Amino acid sequence: MKISAVIVTYNNEKKIEPCLQSLTGVVDEIIVVDSQSTDYTRKIASYFTDKVFKHPSTDYAELKNFGHRAAAYNWILSMEPDERLSTELRLELLRLKNQPVEADGFSIPRISFYLGRWIRYSGWYPNRRVRLYNKDKGCWTGERFRVFLNFSGKAKKLRHPIEHLAFSSISEHILYLNRLTGHRAQELYARRKKARFYHFYLLPFLKFFSTYFLKFGFLDGYAGLVISAMSAYSVFLRYAKLKEIWRKGEKIEPVPCSQ
């Protein structure tokens, strides 16, 4: 088995180097698809691979599929710039490469580092997804603001995790939620959904309760409390933005006088 790692980037100069370092010596090829970064992302990536592509699209699925098509090998390892292979996963992948392959893909857990600790609950772990797959069995697709791997083969599980170096601060987390909720609100608006009373008063409470208690967020300490509160806040913000979109979009234009 030979593996092509594919990473899609945009202004990730502060995060991408650990990702690329962790791939070195494990994968057989690294492909970086850059969505016109304005920082040093491409320059940093060029120290690790000569396959750095500048792509004009902002469509995440299109960028993922571009890297998919550019890969020289049949096995794709999909990574994000703020992720890295754990030491244990590196060894697991090296062993896998020297064994007969009896699957079309492999799901890999992901563990996130946030507010000074690894998050093992709060709904953030194990966050298992098919990340290593045969390129003939998968492609990236999705709606306007979210993408997923359309995988049609047989998948097995790898044991050890990808390490996700999540938000470096609460401020960065809030900025991410601001972007995400804007996208989600537009997605709901495109489906002609409206914000109702319970979206503001009930759903945020239920989200906090689910994250902090049902998903054992309290076991993640202070970080779990913040994650739970942020999850509730994101629900409220999504529907507040949806209501705002409707208020702007439902303005009735005056009917012109008939001639």
Residue 195 lies in a domain: yes
What average pLDDT does range 161-169 have in this prediction?
A: 96
CATH number at residue 107: 3.90.550.10
Q: For residues 71 and 160, state if they share a domain.
A: yes
Q: For residues 99 and 39, state if they share a domain.
A: yes
- Cβ-proximal residues to 117 (8 Å cutoff; 6+ apart), any chain: 220, 221, 223
pLDDT of residue 255 exceeding 70: no
**Distance from C-alpha of 34 to C-alpha of 53, rounded to nearest angstrom:** 6
- How many domains would you assign to the chain? 2
Residue 126 lies in a domain: yes
pLDDT of residue 257 exceeding 70: no
Q: For residues 81 and 208, state if they share a domain.
A: no
Banded pLDDT at 146 (limits 50, 70, 90): confident
Displacement of CA 31 from its chain's centroid (Å) = 18
CB of 10 within 8 A of CB of 63? no
Q: For residues 91 and 63, state if they share a domain.
A: yes
List the structure tokens of 163: 């390490």
- Would you give the end-to-end CA distance of the chain in angstroms? 74
What average pLDDT does range 179-183 have in this prediction?
A: 94
- Cβ-proximal residues to 227 (8 Å cutoff; 6+ apart), any chain: 114, 119, 122, 123, 124, 211, 217, 220
Q: For residues 85 and 52, state if they share a domain.
A: yes
Q: For residues 188 and 159, state if they share a domain.
A: no
Per DSSP bridges, beta strands 75-79 and 3-9 are: parallel
Question: Residue 256: its pLDDT value, please?
Answer: 44
Residue 175 lies in a domain: yes
Residue 32 lies in a domain: yes
Q: For residues 62 and 28, state if they share a domain.
A: yes
pLDDT (tens digit, 9 = 90+) per residue, 59-90?
899 999 999 999 999 999 999 999 999 999 99
Half-sphere exposure of 178 (CA within 13 A, CB side): 6
Q: For residues 68 and 104, state if they share a domain.
A: yes
Question: Residue 136: its pLDDT value, please?
Answer: 95
What average pLDDT does range 36-41 have in this prediction?
A: 96
Phi, psi at residue 20, to the nearest 5°?
-65, -35
pLDDT of residue 58 exceeding 90: no
Q: For residues 199 and 120, state if they share a domain.
A: no
3-state secondary structure 132-194: EEEHHHEEEEECCCCEEEEECCCEEECCCCEEEECCCCHHHHHHHHHHHHHHHHHHHHHCCCC
State the residue range of the domain holding 121: 3-165
Residue 257 lies in a domain: no
* pLDDT over 90 percentage in the chain: 91
pLDDT (tens digit, 9 = 90+) per residue, 83-142?
999 999 999 999 999 999 999 999 999 999 999 999 999 999 999 999 999 999 999 997
Question: Among 165, 196, 228, where does a domain finish?
Answer: 165
* pLDDT over 70 percentage in the chain: 95
Question: Among 165, 190, 214, where does a domain finish?
Answer: 165
Residue bearing tokens 């292979």: 85
Question: Among 165, 186, 215, where does a domain finish?
Answer: 165
Q: For residues 125 and 179, state if they share a domain.
A: no
Residue 258 lies in a domain: no
Residue 201 lies in a domain: yes
Banded pLDDT at 204 (limits 50, 70, 90): very high
Q: What are 30's strand-pairing partners? A: 5
Q: For residues 19 and 66, state if they share a domain.
A: yes
